[in-house]
Structures are given as structure tokens and as C-alpha cells.
Amino acid sequence: MAQLDVKQKLAILADAAKYDASCASSGTSKRDSRDGKGLGSTEGMGICHAYAPDGRCISLLKILLTNSCIFDCHYCINRKSSNVQRARFTAAEVVNLTLSFYRRNYIEGLFLSSGIISSPDYTMEQIVEVARSLREDHHFRGYIHLKTIPDADPELVHQAGLYADRVSINVELPTSSGLKRLAPEKDEARIEGAMRGVTASIADLSDAKAKYKSAPRFAPAGQSTQMIVGADAATDGDIVGKASQLYDRFNLRRVYYSAFSPIPDASAVLPLQRPPLMREHRLYQSDWLMRFYEFKPHEVVAATDAATGMLPLDIDPKLAWALKFREHFPVDVNRAPRETLLRVPGLGVKAVKNILASRRWRRLRLDDVARLTVSIAKIRPFIVTDDWRPVSLTDRAELKPLVAPKKQQLELFAA
Amino acid sequence: MRVVTLPLSDDFDAWRDAARGLVTDGVPPDEVVWQVGDVPGDLFAAAGGDASAPRHDPTTPALKVSRAFIDLARSVVLHSDPERFALLYTALYRLRREPKLVEDQADPLVRRLDGLAKHVRRDIHKMRAFLRFREVDDGGTPRFVAWWEPDHHIVRANAAFFVNRFASMRWSILTPEISLFWDGAALSQGPGAARGDAPEGDPIEDVWKTYYASIFNPARVKVGAMLKEMPRKYWKNMPETALVPELLATAQARESGMIEQARTSIGGNAQAAWEALREEAMSCTRCHLYKHATQTVFGEGPVGASMMFVGEQPGDQEDLAGHPFVGPAGQVFNRALAEAGITRAETYVTNAVKHFKFEPRGKRRIHAKPDAGEITACRWWIEQEQMLLRPKVTVALGATAARSLFGKAMTIGRERGRALTLPGEGGGTAWITVHPSYLLRLPDEAAKAAEYAKFVEDLKAAHALVG
């Protein structure tokens, strides 16, 4: 086989990495390179340097070190039995690519993952070496996200955390029976064991940091994970339950969902039909409800259809919850506490904050609320203001058509 | 009327000094005209009056304003709206009587200022995101040069970000109003530049475009989401966006290609795939029926079968045995199959709902019809079975099976007796007939015999479709 140049390798190894949903570069410690020695900075808030036509943000150089793999996970384009072309970067090639992209302001940093070659330990060593070289040889101060391998030596995973801003281990599938079917070599207990190890390291070193300023930082942007939606039999209710469990047990920053999408040279075990992309979107919205809107997991589950366990696709989960639990509405915007205002469909976290601030200085009328929000028409049936009371609206059985988004014409090629 | 002339478009300090003097003098907002440089802000403003020498009234206490207002004003000053200084002064003037004005987010003026600040923040953010450096040789050492056209007067305010990030490089940012130069130690300013002053290209851009094209997933095109965050006005400075039209044009073909390829690749491991699927189904909890049933009754038969039969749900005996169609209805079904000349062992037999639904009545468990929700919940399994087997003909036995296969209620009387096309990826031909248990329930023997004969005819006709 002819030698591949860096550009050809990049085409293969970026293509192989695109099924990882995360591209976040936020939430890490603040750094800069004013000392003139290194390169890069982090601001806390990540930056999306471009958007691909799939609507996803490009913040990091997201690549695999190699797409060769000794595992045979059916959903994965890089599995052993797949016929894709294989390639492998050297550590130096990844370092150079990262630095030359970073200097041109294309990226915030690197998200490095890898297929498993020879052994989990060997692969993890290679990943750690890239991060070490960036940090120590080149004083790179940008963002680094490393995907760690559950079966690797915990000491190697620990080193990864010392160089990286974020580490992640994918739980892959929401149900253990799904994992068994689609990723026969992976094991739920080992994956969760590794996640627990990372959680413990983060906690230990942030304790140490509180006492000793010189203590090293361990993954200051925390730990995240990803699961594939639509490849196993899990319902939205199952997924929301699993995600909230993961947040609680491992203190995760984020759980990413990746709607299973067709891959070249797919295995027959995989469903051919992709789930609607809207399903992934609704799951992210429910994730938001739990993280920012003080919804409990069981309340999100209550918004799912009782028989099928699925969230509605035509309306968002917050509206679905409100339509189902009509007795909580209308809410008086001049008196209701924050957690009650957050339940009103169409009122975001910021709008609620603004309502709370302004009502200390005035009684709110419908016009005032309109100025603080995007669409008053959607909110009106759920609130009471000094000059507005939706007496007939909240009780109307046909409320949904009034507040649900208008049906769009179907895409010609929609899934 | 007083005219205040500020030296620079983004000069917060000059505005603050002037505004402080005016407000101390109690000058109402409608008596002040603000302008920058020698650009007249208001053509009809009467000349005269000099804000740089305000007449301080020593009895007026100095106005103290909140940190929140200062932060807001710092952002708003950078906006390109010529009214910004006047709006800020109006707010400042009102702060004398309403010290907490900024907190009242429902106030129209506060909303307006907040909106301006938001534009400015977005402009600052987009410059950090979408500015692209190109490397040039500058007397033996590399220099990185970028061209940028901001909407607002944000360039100087944004300089610190680029210094913090790229302190070890030498770089220049050229914009129409102003240019910034960093030599590795100090920042200097120059006059505005033209697009032509910036370099044309950089060999690394080709590598970057390769990355952009490869990280795009053609199976999930969302143009609206891309345009919302990266409007076209930014594209001219971003080399990778040149690829967008072609990526979109070929996306549909690439996705169909992947699905087609996957379809043809089903071969040797279909049996293993089916076994794995069956095992996963054993622990299914997609609806509540698993709670009372004995076990999941999955489909049975060779994965290479060209005929697939779909019943309603396992009955009492099937639930105990773990196999489909082994009870009384199964016996009718077997007999009819044989008469139609079909070997059951060569077909795949399954149910629309995989758990037994019943109502306990004494010691007996009486069959209960699955509802639409349960059928929908269980459809996932039927779809997997269909896609694995890809049978030429699928026979729906009864209304529940038909509903499951077509995703909507089907009237047996109307749809029976002709070949139908199945919806979805599984595709293939379908034939709808009655459920064998219907034959058991008919009280009249003559009607029973007639219906049975009709059922056998249906099976024959469906079998003929296999070819």
C-alpha cells in the first residue's frame, strides 16, 4: 500500500471521528500565553470556529490516532470487520496539525480518540504521549479532550487527566442488553468502573488544589460521556433515566446523545433506519430541563407517552409536560417563585431572571412580559399578569394547536 | 443645545467624562447632541456650548452609578448605532431619580440598551471565532495576518483576547477602520486597511478544508442550524465555506449509498444478528406488558425465509411455551398452511406484540387486545425483524398485525385479497388476511368452513407472490 500523506490520513481519521457528538471546549480553567513562551488560551466559554452543513459546531480538531481496532462493535465504522481504509497518525503528526490549525485560529484545541490497537494500554500510552508533547514540548495552553479507554491501566488514565481539560469514556448504549448485542467485547461494569476512577481522581485533586496551590489540576473541564440513540430498544424514558443516573453517580458535566446514523459498510446487526434527528433534539431538551430548569428525572419521564415511553416529536418536552399537567397553570408572573416560572413553556432561564429582577420595581403587565420574551403568544395561555388572565384558554382541550409550532412541510428526503 | 464631540467611535472614557459633567449640571438629554470626530451627529444642532468645560454646581452631590450600568455602557459604546451615546446619557440622566433602573429589565430603554450590548457581544464573539490568520514570510520570520470586517467598533476592545492567545506569534489584524500589530512584546495600532492588503492564501488552508469536509456527516444535513450560527456574511473570510455547496449537493447521494451498501452487505452474520436481537428482546421493557407475562415470545424461523407471518400477540399457551403459534389458533394456522402447500419450517412466524396481554379471571388468563400504544412500542422489534429478514412477502394475520406493519389502522375487509406495498425501509410486499383465532370464534359451522377456505386461498395467493 502506498504511504498516505498527512492530508489523506486526516481525511480518513476525521471521517472516523465524526460520530462522536461532543465538540465542547467550555468550562475549563482560564489560561493564557502572555508569558510569550507557549501558545493558546482558554476563556471558560468555548468558541465554535466554524459550523459544518450538519449544523454542528467545529470547535476542536476531532480525530482518531488510528482507525484500526481489535474490537468489533457493530455500530462503529472502525470495527475490526469493517472494510474502511485504515490509517494511523504518528504522535508528532497530530501535534503539528493541532499547532498549525491553532495558530491560524481554526480551532480551540484537540479532541483525540483512537481505535484500540495491540492492547488498551499501548493505545492509551500513544494518546497520552500526544497530550504530553503538546503540553510539555510546545507549552500548548489550548483545550485538550482525551477519550480514554476503559480497559487501560488506571495510571495511564490518570496521566491523561493531568494533561487534558476533559476526559470522557463512552457508555455507548443506554441499555446493558443493547451493549451486549452491539458491542460484545465491551462491558458495562468495566466502563462504569473506569468512569468511577476518573470521578474519584477529579474529586481528589480538586480537594488537594483547595489546600495546596501547587497541586496539579485533573481534567478541570470534568468528565463527559456519550450514548447512541435508536440502535437498541431503549425508550426515551429509559434514556432519560439512565442519563440522570450517570449524572448522579459520576458527577458528569455532560451526557451526549448521538442519534444512530447510517455508516458506510454497516453491520447487519444494526437497524438500517435511523431514528428521526428530532428524537435526539428532544432528548437534549429534556437534558436541559433537568440541568437548568429544575425538572426531576421522573417529571421528564412523566412527559413521555405512557404506552410507548417516548417523548413527543411535534412539541418540546416542556410544553408536553405543561399540556399534561394543566393544573399547575396559569402562573402569576408577579408572584410565582423562580421554580414555578421556569415551568412556563416559552420562558427561558434568562427571561425568568429578568422577570424576577424587574418585578421588584414594577407590577408586570402583558406588554412588559412581551418585552422580556421571544413570543408572548405561546406564553399567554400559561400566565397571569396584572392585565391578563387566560380563564378560558388554560382549560380549553384544544390548547395544543394554539401553542404547538405550526407543522412544517416535510422534507423531501426526510428520514 | 450642547454639542459633545468624542475623539473616537469606541471611546468609553471620553463619553463618561463628558456625561459626568453634563449630568452634574443637570443638562436634560434632549439638550445634548453627541458626535464623533468631526462627523456632525445632528445637522440642525445649534453650535455653541462646550461640554468640556461644564459649569459645576458645587451643591449637587456626585452621581454614583452601579457596576452593572458601567459594564452595560462599556459594551453599548462599541455599537455602530449613532444614537448610542444619547441613549446612554438618557439612561444616566434617569439614574439620578431611578438608581436601580438597570435592574428593571422590562423598561423599554433598558431593553434597547441591552439589545445593543447583545449585538456588540455577538460581534466580539464572532470575530474571535471566525477570524482566520494566514501565514506570510516577514523578513525570514513568520507573521500571521488576518482581514476582518466587524459590524461594530469592537476591534480595539477585542485586542486583548488575541494577545492572550497568540502572544508568542507575530501577527496583524487588518480591518477597514483600524489595524492592530503584535510584535511578540507590544501591541501597536495603525490606520484602516483594505482587503487587498491581506495575503491571499495559505497552504495549510487546503488541509483545513480536508478536515472540514471529512468531519461533516452527510446523513444529518441541517442547513438552518449552520446558517443561524454562521450567517453568509462571514463566509468570505472563511476558506472552508467554499466547500459547503458541494457538500450539500452530494450529501443525499452519499447517505443513500451508505444505506444501499449496508443492505447488500447483509449476509453471513444475519443469523448471529438475529440471535443477538432475540436475546435483547428477552429483557424488553418498552411497554408495561412485560410485568405480567411469563416471557418474551420472539419470532421463529430461518433468517433467509422469503415469507414472514405476523400474528397479533402470544396467547396463554405461547406465553408458557415461549414459541409463537403453538396454541389452538396455531393449530388452525398449521393446518391451513399445509393445505396451501406452504412448509411452516421454511417461513418466519412472529407476532406484532411480543408479550401476552391478558385479564385474570379466576385461574384463567383471558386474552386482551393490545392497544395502539402497546403496538407502537413493540413495533421496534417487528421493524428489526423485517430489516434482518427482508422477506419477499409479509402476511399480516388480523388487524393488530396490519396496524403494526402499516403504522395505521387498516380495514381488513377493504384491504384483503390484494398485494400491498409495505412502508418504510423494510419494504416488500404485504398481504392482509384474518387471524386464525377469528376462525375459531365463528359460531356457525357453515360460515366457519367458508371463512377457513377463504383463509387458505389468501395463504395460497400470498405464497404465489414469492414466485
Residues A223 and A365 placed together within one structural domain of the fold: no
| C-alpha distance from A153 to closest chain B C-alpha (Å) | 30
Q: A175: nearest CA in chain B?
A: B280
Residue A287 inside a domain? The answer is: no
Asked if residue B45 has pLDDT above 80, the reply is no
Residues A111 and A58 placed together within one structural domain of the fold: yes
Domain span including residue A269: 6-275
pLDDT digits (tens, 9 = 90+) for A338-348: 999 999 999 99
Mean pLDDT of A10-26: 88
pLDDT at A96: 97
pLDDT at A272: 57
pLDDT at A410: 46
Out of A106, A180, A271, whose CB is closest to B208? A106
Asked if residue B444 has pLDDT above 70, the reply is yes
Lowest mean pLDDT: which of A378-387, A395-404, B112-121? A395-404
Out of A53, A177, A272, whose CB is closest to B259? A272
pLDDT digits (tens, 9 = 90+) for B255-287: 877 766 665 554 446 787 788 889 889 988 888
Residue A225 inside a domain? The answer is: yes
Asked if residue B51 has pLDDT above 80, the reply is no
Residues A256 and A380 placed together within one structural domain of the fold: no
Residues A322 and A181 placed together within one structural domain of the fold: no
Asked if residue B48 has pLDDT above 50, the reply is no
Mean pLDDT of B374-388: 89
Final residue of a structural domain among A275, A293, A328: A275
User: Is B261 touching A (CB cutoff 8 A)?
Assistant: yes
pLDDT at B47: 46
CB neighbourhood size of A170 (10 A): 23
Final residue of a structural domain among A275, A303, A335: A275
Domain ranges of chain B: 2-126, 131-197, 204-265, 270-466
pTM of the model: 0.83
User: Is B290 touching A (CB cutoff 8 A)?
Assistant: no
| Higher local confidence (pLDDT), B254 or B30 | B30
Cis peptide before A330 (omega within 30 of 0): yes
**Mean pLDDT, chain A, integer:** 88
CB neighbourhood size of B27 (10 A): 20
Q: Which three cell numbers stand for residue B303?
A: 433468517
Q: B136: nearest CA in chain A?
A: A104
Number of domains in chain A: 2
Final residue of a structural domain among A245, A275, A305: A275
Give dist(CA A144, CA A107) in Å, integer.
Answer: 11
Residues A262 and A371 placed together within one structural domain of the fold: no
pLDDT at B148: 97
Mean pLDDT of A103-119: 95
pLDDT at B269: 65
Residue-wise over B366-401: b if at least 16 C-beta within 10 A, else e? ebeebeebbbbbbbbbbbbbbbbbbbebbbbbbbbb
Residue A364 inside a domain? The answer is: yes
Out of B167, B273, B284, whose CB is closest to A268? B273
CB neighbourhood size of B7 (10 A): 9
Out of B168, B208, B276, whose CB is closest to A36? B168
pLDDT band at A207 (very low <50, low <70, confident <90, very high): confident
- Are the beta carbons of A50 and B230 separated by less than 8 Å? yes
Residues A71 and A157 placed together within one structural domain of the fold: yes
Out of A37, A54, A309, whose CB is closest to B377? A309
User: Is B170 touching A (CB cutoff 8 A)?
Assistant: no
In chain A, residues with a C-beta closer than 8 Å to the C-beta of B226 are 51-55
- Are the beta carbons of A272 and B262 separated by less than 8 Å? yes
Out of A53, A272, A364, whose CB is closest to B216? A53
pLDDT at A215: 83
pLDDT at B272: 77
Residues A190 and A264 placed together within one structural domain of the fold: yes
pLDDT at B309: 97
User: Is B216 touching A (CB cutoff 8 A)?
Assistant: yes
Q: A63: nearest CA in chain B?
A: B215
Percent of the residues in chain A that have a pLDDT greater than 70, as a whole number: 93
Mean pLDDT of A44-61: 93
pLDDT band at B63 (very low <50, low <70, confident <90, very high): confident
- Are the beta carbons of B276 and A55 separated by less than 8 Å? no
pLDDT digits (tens, 9 = 90+) for A216-236: 889 999 999 999 898 888 899
In chain A, residues with a C-beta closer than 8 Å to the C-beta of B247 are 52-53
pLDDT at B268: 46
pLDDT band at B49 (very low <50, low <70, confident <90, very high): very low
Residues A82 and A132 placed together within one structural domain of the fold: yes
Residues A124 and A270 placed together within one structural domain of the fold: yes
Residue A238 inside a domain? The answer is: yes
- Are the beta carbons of A362 and B131 separated by less than 8 Å? no
pLDDT digits (tens, 9 = 90+) for A245-254: 999 999 999 9
Residue A219 inside a domain? The answer is: yes
**Mean pLDDT, chain B, integer:** 89
CATH 1.10.3720.10 fits B270-466, yes or no: no
Lowest mean pLDDT: which of A254-263, A399-408, B336-345? A399-408
pLDDT digits (tens, 9 = 90+) for A338-390: 999 999 999 999 999 999 999 988 899 999 999 888 888 889 989 999 998 88
pLDDT at A407: 60
Residues A267 and A337 placed together within one structural domain of the fold: no
pLDDT digits (tens, 9 = 90+) for B386-414: 888 889 999 999 999 999 999 899 999 99
| C-alpha distance from B141 to closest chain A C-alpha (Å) | 14
pLDDT at A182: 84
* ipTM of the complex in this document: 0.90
pLDDT at A84: 87
Percent of the residues in chain A that have a pLDDT greater than 90, as a whole number: 58
Give the CATH number for residue A195. 3.20.20.70
Residues A382 and A259 placed together within one structural domain of the fold: no
| Higher local confidence (pLDDT), A295 or B220 | A295
Residues A256 and A338 placed together within one structural domain of the fold: no
